[in-house]
Amino acid sequence: MDNTLAPLNFKVTVITVVKNADKVIERLFNSVRNFKNEQVEFIVLDGVSTDNTVELIKQNEDIIDTWLSEPDAGIYDAMNKAVKLACGQWLIFLGADDELLEGFKQIIPLLKDGNTIYYGNVFFHHAHITGKIKDNYTLTKTNICHQAIFYPKNVFKKYSYQTQYVQCADYVLNLNLWDDRDFKFVYYDYLIANFPEGGFSTHTRDLLFEHDRTQLFKKHLTRFAYYHYIYKKYKKAGILEVLKQMLSN
């Protein structure tokens, strides 16, 4: 008799990395519970919380397929660990204070191409935010919201989150993928998640990303988008006016 267990075949893996979030994480659990089924895997990685977070995780083990509580080197290091545990064909990352919305269920049947990153919209700070990136230049102004992206597992066979970017590693990943001919992005007008203000990204500056931003745009985006970004950047700083005055004298 063969006692080997067949690999699980989830369509989507929801990944949450968390530390000391006992005040908000039950809202996430309740929203995941609304959509948890045989197609949806749920993984939670805790960074050794010192509050009641682990106890709440244990109380919700009926909807959690895998959870661990162990030290990590930051939020993106924990995400890289979680990716290795995931069995889903597509991965979506949610914070401890986020909520899944009805668009999550609506988009799942549309996830078909293993080299396509599918994404939608989020509800943020009392507003419905349309996530569509119209062109390369748009990506210099805004990242695709992490809570609205379904990454195919193939992405993480080629890439991982670059943990030196403490708050914007997902932005850097998206720039790499935007420039990679092996992958494409497809947008659907569905409201995927509620992304409240006040989480990790709200209170953390990524100084390395701020330093590298211009070169990252130059490397991964079109020349038009890059030079448009440079023009707007220096115009905003008032440097163009100074140059005009210098040339006119």
For the domain with range 12-208, which CATH number is right: 1.10.10.10, 3.90.550.10, 3.40.30.10, 3.40.50.920? 3.90.550.10
* Alpha-carbon gap, residue 35 to 28, rounded angstroms: 11
Residues 85-106 pLDDT 10s: 999 999 999 999 999 999 999 9
* pLDDT recorded at residue 124: 85
Domain boundaries, the chain: 12-208
* Alpha-carbon gap, residue 171 to 165, rounded angstroms: 9
* pLDDT recorded at residue 7: 47
* Alpha-carbon gap, residue 113 to 110, rounded angstroms: 9
Instruction: List the chain residues with pLDDT less than 70.
Output: 1-8, 126, 197-203, 236-237, 239-249
Residues 166-207 pLDDT 10s: 999 999 999 999 999 999 999 999 999 998 865 555 567 999
Ramachandran angles phi, psi of 144, nearest 5°:
-75, 130
* pLDDT recorded at residue 202: 56
Q: Encoding tokens for residue 183?
A: 């992958």
* Alpha-carbon gap, residue 223 to 221, rounded angstroms: 7
CA-based nearest residue to 67, from 23, 35, 29, 31: 29
* pLDDT recorded at residue 130: 80
* pLDDT recorded at residue 131: 82
pTM of the model: 0.90
How far CA 2 is from CA of 5, 7, 15, 201, in Å, comes to 8, 14, 31, 47
